[in-house]
Amino acid sequence: MKKPKKVNRYCKYCKKHQEHEVSVAKKRDRGSLKKGSLPRLENRGSGTKGFGNHGKYSRKAKSAWKMSGAKSSKKPDLRYKCKTCGKISVQGKGKRAKKVEIK
């Protein structure tokens, strides 16, 4: 899928159409945990003599499941940055694509 670098789009902060810069959001690292925080996890089993997490992490990681990663296309997470106010808005509905090119 090819996308233009600049698009005229409605900005909900300026309340009118403005020029927006298109970019693809990158995955951000939040340590080894994907959900929740470490203090919460440590708290979870603290009632039972300080060990265990009530089965929260007894299942294998999602990437180890049989069907995970079976599809070759993904919906890209497109972000639109308003040139006037600098606010970033997210696309409403994405379309599947194997590769995204912004030019």
Contact residues for Zn ion, defined by CB under 5 A? 11, 13-14, 82, 84-85
Rg (C-alpha) for the chain, rounded Å, is: 20
The residue among 53 and 91 lying less far from Zn ion, judged by its C-beta, is 91
Taking a C-beta distance cutoff of 8 angstroms, is the pair 23, 5 a contact? no
CB of 19 to Zn ion, least distance (A): 9
Q: Residue 15: CB partners within 8 Å, gap ≥ 6?
A: none
CB of 83 to Zn ion, least distance (A): 8
CB of 10 to Zn ion, least distance (A): 9
